[in-house]
Structure 1
Amino acid sequence: MIAFQYIDNQAALDALVAQYNEAELLVLDTEFVRTRTYYARLGLIQAYDGKHLALIDPLAVNDLSGFWALLTNPAITKLVHSCSEDLEVFANYGKCQPAPLFDSQIAAALCGWGHGLGYAKLVEQQLSISLDKGESRTDWLKRPLSAAQLQYAANDVYYLYQLYPALKAEVERQGRMDWVLEEGARLTAGRLDRPCGDMAYLKVKNAFQLTPKQLAILKVLAKWRLEKALSRDLALGFVIKDHGLIALCRKPPQNIGQLMRMNELTEQEKRIHGKELLEVMVTADVNNPPPAVDVLALRPGYKASFKVVKALLTAICDTHQVPEELLASKRHIHDFLQWHLDAQQGDLPLLLTGWRGALAAIPLQTLELSI
C-alpha cells in the first residue's frame, strides 16, 4: 500500500504547497471526466515530491491558486507522463502551464526505451512491477472515492518518481536533456490561448469541398458553434456535428420550414438551434469569402515530394537513433511541404527548428522538390 495524504481543505493544501515549494522535482497527474463537455472536468490532482504524496480534491478545496503557482516555479522540474490532456486541465482550471516540463513518455522515446510507451508498460519494463488497471474507468467526480480508486491514483505518481533517476541519467548520457525540455516547452505553447472563432471553419471536416459562397457561410456557422460550445461547456459535436454544418452551407435553408425538413440535422439540433442558425447564416459576407481551403495533399507532386522528404528523414532517424514518429511524422512533413509551397514565408516549420532543425535543416533545404 502506498501512503498518501488526501487534501480536502484549504489549510492542508496551503501546508502542502509550502512543502512542495522546497522541492526540486514534482511529479504531477490528474484524473478527470470527459463525456459531453468541451473541457475535461477535473476530479483529482496527484502530486509527489519524493516525500509527500498528495491526492488533492479540487471539488472540496475552493482556492487552488497556491498549487497552480507551483507549476510555473522555474526552480521545480515538473515530471509527467503523456501529458497532453493534463495540460488542457491545467490551462482551463489553473490558467497556467507547467515549466520546466519533463514528459517521461517523450524522454523514453528519445533515449531508445520505446516510442509511445504507456505508463503501465514503462513501469513494467523498467521496474518489473505490474500495475492494476481496474480503476481506469472510474467516475472521478463521484464522492467518496474508494480505497482502491485512491491507490490507483497514487500509483500514477509514485512509480513515476521511481522511474525518473534512471530515465534522467540515460537522457543526460545521450546528451538529449535539452531535447526533452524543448519538447516540454513545445507541448505547453499556446495552451492558454482562447480558440479562434474566425479560424474554426478550417477544422470542419470536408470544408475544402465547399464553394467560396458556401465557405463564407461555414465561417460564420463554425464561429457561432465554437462560441456556443465554449459558453455552455459542450463538445462541438453536441452543439451541431460537422456534417450538419456542411449540409447547411451546401443548401442553405431560406426559412424555418426548410430547415426543419433537413435530414442532416438531428431533431434536437433543429429544435434548439433552428431559428438562431438562420439568423447566423444571413450574416455571412458571401461577397468577401475567406480563402479557399487548400488541400496540399491533392496537389500534383505532393506524394512524390512527401516520399523524398520521408526517405531523407528516415535515414536521419536511423543515423541518430531517433524514433521516426518524433522526427518524420506525417504532420511534420506536411507542414514542411506547406512552408515550402508558401515560398518559405511565415514561421519556420518544426522540422527546421530546435533539435529537429539541428539534425535535419541543412539536408532538407538542399532537396529539390517538385511540388
Structure 2
Amino acid sequence: MTTLTTTDALAAFCTAAARAPYVTVDTEFLRERTYYSKLCLVQLAYPGDGETDAVLVDPLAEGLDLAPLYALFRDVGVVKVFHAARQDLEIFAIEGDTIPEPLFDTQIAAMVCGFGEQVGYETLVRKVARAQVDKSSRFTDWSRRPLSDAQKVYALADVTHLRAIYEYLAAELDKSGRKAWVEEELDILRDPATYRVAPPEAYHRLKMRNPSPRTVALARELAAFRESYAQANDVPRNRVFKDDALLELAGLKPKDASELGKARLLLREARRGEIADGILAAVAAGQAIPKEDLPVPPKQKGREQINGALADLLRVLLKTKAEQAGVAPKLLASSSDLDDIAAGARDGDWARGWRLKVFGEDALRLCAGEIALACKGHDVQIVPL
C-alpha cells in the first residue's frame, strides 16, 4: 500500500493516471465539529492490478499540495469515478474551487441500472465485484496519524473495487442507451451552487408550519445570521443554535438580552456575546421590514387539496413504470411528488427530461382521465380510455 506524502509523488501518480481512461476517487473526512469538512485522506486508483495504480494521498502531510490532483480533475480526457459523490465533491469544490469533469457517480448509475434506491457501495462490491468489504475500520478518526494497515486496506478498497463496478455499469448504460439519464442527474452535482449555502437563502432549509409573512422574515434573518456565523467560525450551524430554537426566537421576537433570556431552547453559549448580539440584530432587521416587502410564506399543502384516491393510483402507476423501466421508483418521483401531482401540480423534476418520458406523461394522462389502470393476473396494465 502506497501512501503519497509529497507533492512530487502526487504529481507523478497524477501524470500516470492522466494516461488512463478513468480514475476512481474517494475521500475520508471529519465534520462533526466543523462547518466545512476536514479532508483527511484521498484514495485514487486507475485501471490495473499492480501496486502503483492504487494509492492513498495524505493531505495532512506537511508541505503536500493538492494542485496536481486538481489538475487531473480538470483533465477532460479522464473520467473521474465516485460512489455517492456529493460530499466528496463538496470538499473539492470548497477547498480547490474545482469540480471534477467528466464525472461519473456509480450510485446514480446503479439506480438507473435497476439496483434500487441509494444502493450502498458494499452492495455493489458484493453483487458486481464479487468481493467483500472489511467493515472493521468504518468508524475511524481519519485525522489521527499514523494510520494502521487495517485502516489503509479499508480505505483503499473504496477505490479498487470501484474500478470493476464502474466498468460494469458503464457497459450496462451503453447497452441500455440510458447514459443520458445519468448525465441529467449529474448536472446537479456539477453545479458549484450545490455546495455553497448563501446565508440569505438558508431559511429555505427550515420546516415551518403555516407561518405568517413576518415570521418568515424573522426566520430568514435569523437563519442568515446563523449561516454567516457558522461559516466564518467553521462550526456546525446547530452548534450556533438549532432549528427549534430559531423558530422559537422568530415567535418570541426578543428586543434585548432580558427577553432573549426567556428563550427555553437556546443554548447557554448563545445567550451572550457575539451570538446574542447577532440574534438581536437579526430580529430587529426582521421587524423593520415594511409590510409590503415581507416574503411570501411557502404554500402549505393541505390534505383537503390532495385527491387521496388519485395519489394512490399514481403510486401504483409509479411502481408499474419503474418495474417496466428497471429503475428505482424514487428516481422517477418521490412520495411528495405524487401528492403534489394529486393536488394539481404540473411542474417538478418528474415533469422534465427522461423522467417525463418514462413516468410523467402517463401520470398527466392518468390525472386527465385519458388512461386507466387494470389488473391482469399479477400485472398492472395501462389502458387507454
| Both structures adopt the same fold (TM-score exceeding 0.5) | yes
- Which deviates more from structure 2 when the two are superposed, residues 21-30 or residues 359-368? 359-368
Q: How far apart are residue 193 of structure 1 and its match?
A: 5.7
Q: Cα–Cα, structure 1 residues 194 and 85, in superposed 2: closer, same or farther, change >3 Å?
A: closer
CA deviation digits over 1:110-163, x for unaligned, max 9?
223444332122212233322211111111111111111111111111111133
Decide which of 68, 75, 95 is 1:66's aligned counterpart: 68
Runs of 5+ consecutive residues of structure 2 not aligned to the other structure = 370-385
RMSD across aligned C-alpha pairs, in angstroms? 2.5
Contact 1:5 1:54 in 2 (8 A): yes
Output the CA distance in 2 between the equivalents of 1:121 and 1:268. Answer: 43
Residues 1:281 and 2:319 are matched in the alignment: no
> 1:316 maps to what in 2?
321
The amino acid across from 1:237 in the alignment is N
Output the CA distance in 2 between the equivalents of 1:108 and 1:349. Answer: 23
Q: What SS does the aligned partner of 2:155 have?
A: helix
Residues 1:33 and 2:30 are matched in the alignment: yes
Q: What SS does the aligned partner of 1:216 have?
A: helix
Contact 2:254 2:283 in 1 (8 A): no
- Which deviates more from structure 2 when the two are superposed, residues 60-69 or residues 185-194? 185-194
Q: Cα–Cα, structure 1 residues 330 and 97, in superposed 2: closer, same or farther, change >3 Å?
A: farther
Residues 1:11 and 2:12 are matched in the alignment: no
Q: How far apart are residue 202 of structure 1 and its match?
A: 2.3
Q: Cα–Cα, structure 1 residues 251 and 186, in superposed 2: closer, same or farther, change >3 Å?
A: closer
Contact 2:6 2:65 in 1 (8 A): no
Q: How far apart are residue 20 of structure 1 and its match?
A: 1.7
> 1:230 maps to what in 2?
231
Output the CA distance in 2 between the equivalents of 1:356 and 1:136. Answer: 36
Q: How far apart are residue 45 of structure 1 and its match?
A: 0.5
Q: What SS does the aligned partner of 2:26 have?
A: strand
> 2:377 maps to what in 1?
none
- Which deviates more from structure 2 when the two are superposed, residues 10-19 or residues 195-204? 195-204
Output the CA distance in 2 between the equivalents of 1:75 and 1:39. Answer: 30
Q: How far apart are residue 241 of structure 1 and its match?
A: 0.7
> 1:352 maps to what in 2?
351
Q: What SS does the aligned partner of 2:29 have?
A: strand
> 2:177 maps to what in 1?
175
The amino acid across from 1:92 in the alignment is I
> 1:86 maps to what in 2?
88
The amino acid across from 1:293 in the alignment is P
- Which deviates more from structure 2 when the two are superposed, residues 18-27 or residues 65-74? 65-74
CA deviation digits over 1:167-213, x for unaligned, max 9?
322232222222233323333334466312222222223x2333222
CA deviation digits over 1:42-77, x for unaligned, max 9?
100111112421211111254212211322322211
Give the aligned length.
360
Residues 1:185 and 2:187 are matched in the alignment: yes
Output the CA distance in 2 between the equivalents of 1:82 and 1:314. Answer: 24
| TM-score calculated relative to the size of structure 1 | 0.88
Runs of 5+ consecutive residues of structure 1 not aligned to the other structure = none
| TM-score calculated relative to the size of structure 2 | 0.85
Residues 1:328 and 2:333 are matched in the alignment: yes
Contact 1:24 1:75 in 2 (8 A): yes
The percent identity for this pair of structures is 31
Output the CA distance in 2 between the equivalents of 1:65 and 1:278. Answer: 43
Output the CA distance in 1 between the equivalents of 2:186 and 2:217. Answer: 37
